[in-house]
Amino acid sequence: MPPIPPPPPPRLAGPVAALLRAAQDAERQASGPDRRAAFRLTRVLLGGARAAGHNAAQLAACLGLTANAVRDRCGSDGWVRVTQLSAVSGVPEPQWAQWHEAGQLTQHCRDDAGQDCYLASEVIGALSRQTAGSADGA
């Protein structure tokens, strides 16, 4: 009797999958120094997704990669600028501040340039709590 294949990994929440795919697309379209920044953003978001509890198989299924490729690409959970998040996710900058004020994003800092940043794992968590049809959480 052939072995029973494992079940497919659970799907990522729509907004999380959309963010990761958009980061992957931005990476493919960027060139020069922008490509390096886009590559770093994808690594940090993947690391944040792993820290938020998503496994490599889930992320691989979302991005059309192998689980090993995801493991290789994952960076550490880290800080992401709101400007980057808005550019990639389509979520307006003021929405991130509203989520912060509502307690959905508690880890906040300002980088050396004075820009607001949030921890990638919290970003993934906040997006996971949003409905697929409403990025504003209403």
Give the bridge partners for 116, in sequence order.
110
Q: What is the pLDDT of residues 11-52, one digit of tens each?
A: 777 899 999 999 999 999 999 999 999 999 999 999 999 999
Residue 135 in domain:
no
Residue 7 in domain:
no
- pLDDT-derived band at 135, boundaries 50, 70, 90: very low
Q: What is the mean pLDDT of residues 56-66?
A: 93
CA distance 85 to 118: 9
- Global pTM reads 0.85
Residue 3 in domain:
no
Residue-level pLDDT at 22: 96
Q: What is the pLDDT of residues 77-119, one digit of tens each?
A: 999 999 999 999 889 999 999 999 988 898 889 999 999 999 9
Q: What residue numbers bound the domain in which 118 lies?
A: 14-128
More confident residue, 5 or 69: 69
β-strands 108-110, 116-119 pairing: antiparallel
CA distance 77 to 122: 9
Residue 112 in domain:
yes
Residue 46 in domain:
yes
